[in-house]
Amino acid sequence: MTDQAAADVRQRRVRRRIRRRPGFTIINDDSVRPVRHQQQRFLSSFDKPMLAIVLLLLIIGALMVFSATWDWSNQTYGSASGFFVEEHLRNVVVSVIALLLFATVDYRFWKRFAVWLLIFTIISLIAVRIFGEDIFGARRSFTGGRLQPGELAEFTIVFYMAAWLGSHNARVRSFFYGFVPFALIVGTIAALIVSQPDLSSAAIVVLTAGVMFFVAGANIIHMGAVGASALAAGLIVLQRWQYAQDRIADFLVGLSDITLTDYHTLQAITAFVRGGWFGVGVGQSQQKFGALPAPHTDSIFAIIGEELGVMGAAVVVALYIAFAIRGFQMARRAKDNFGALLCVGFTSWVIIQALLNIAVMTGVIPSTGVPLPFISFGGSSLLVVMIGVGLMLSVHRVATRRKPASERRSDIANFDRSWRNRRARLSRAGNRTSAAPSEG
């Protein structure tokens, strides 16, 4: 080997070593410069459309919470930006930090805690019935309404169902291994929530779990049984709780004469009528001054309709539609069943909450106490929803992350070995349609 050839070999070896070092690269003149490969990959891996949708909803929420509470806060705390706005912004900051944390950590890391989270949630639902605070005849929360186990249960049912259904594959269609465990788990959680009583959260749990069960490949007959069981349980609950019967009766009367509907719905519809197409202006609502119950929580969509008009309310609805579209797109791109079901579950959960809240405010269904996701005032509700979005972002990050060269070579080697042995091969990440090769 000549001296020139040996020098070329040494140079190639040096260049290979430099390329393997994280944070450095070789430019055209063979000099070395540091680059931020890891930072670029980290920032680019976040799903920007989903982040933009959530950010817009949070901004609208902060603005409308301030508008709905400034007079109340001024009279109670002596400051227009007193308790409600300050606490809401603190909740937003904490929730954003939680979102970033769960988006950064690989979502598959949390799967091992699914069973423990379910156990903790059941214990919390039992504890709130014993030690919870009596507010308006119901025991649903601790610490002045800030911690509500029912909202944790909504999150838990999505997370646990994603882990359980994602690991069962074809057994989801089995009666004993699919339908029976599903009915026991969801029925137990829903029954504990109903006992508080909290019918709206129980309905959200059942509807969200039903969507996930269907997407996971459940037998259509079993789905019919789930629907029939939920309907029968709802009728039994209506016979027991008088307030639920009153809401149904007011709703049915309001179908023929809107002025005879329940007070809450009537005031919400009045707010929309006052707002017209373009609204009366931010901060100019009259319904929030004592007429509309809970203007900063359950009724905040009515305040949006009054101050921003039909067009402003349509923008909020459009953002939720965009959230649904993007969430299901992220589910399609997930690397495994667990990630796909996480995206489907959390997307369905947010949309079901939004649909119920908007339907109540427009008089389409009887009154329920469901917050508007990302917008309504409330610490625990905002926190669990943002953690859900963080997990969805983690699913997207894993799906779009480029594997190191050594890992890609390992995958190729494993693939070739399974091909030569002619053995059945499990679907690799990102390749769910892995048919066995033909003989020939």
Residue scoring higher pLDDT (199 or 163): 163
What's the pLDDT band for 340 if we cut at 50, 70, 90? very high
Domain boundaries, the chain: 59-104+257-400, 111-240
Mean pLDDT, the chain, as a whole number?
A: 78
Q: For residues 295 and 305, give the distance between their C-alpha atoms in angstroms, rounded to a whole number.
A: 12
Q: Which residues contact 123 (CB under 8 A, 6 or more apart)?
A: none
pLDDT bin (cut points 50, 70, 90) of residue 217 is: confident
pLDDT of residue 18: 54
Q: State mean pLDDT over 85-101.
A: 89
Digit-coded pLDDT (tens) for 279-297: 888 878 887 777 777 788 8
**Cβ contact 107:342 at 8 Å:** yes
Residue 415 has pLDDT above 70, yes or no: no
Task: Quote the percentage of the chain above a pLDDT of 90.
Answer: 28
Give the predicted TM-score (pTM) of the model: 0.79
What local confidence, expressed as pLDDT, does residue 95 receive? 93
Task: Check pLDDT > 70 for residue 31.
Answer: no
Q: Are 209 and 182 in contact (CB under 8 A)?
A: yes
**Please, which residues have CB within 8 angstroms of residue 228's CB and are 6 or more apart in sequence?**
none
**What pLDDT score was predicted for residue 148?**
79
Q: Could you tell me if 177 and 171 are in contact, meaning their C-beta atoms sit under 8 angstroms apart?
A: yes
Helical pair 220-240 and 180-194, crossing angle rounded to 10 deg: 20
Q: CA-to-CA distance for 212 and 73, rounded, in angstroms?
A: 41
State the pLDDT at residue 145: 61
Q: How far apart are the first and last CA of the chain?
A: 46
Which DSSP helix (H) or strand (E) runs through 25? strand 24-26
Residues in the chain, total: 440
Q: What is the mean pLDDT of residues 407-416?
A: 40
Burial (0-12, 13-18, 19+ Cβ within 10 Å), 376: buried
Q: Which residue has the higher pLDDT, 187 or 249?
A: 187
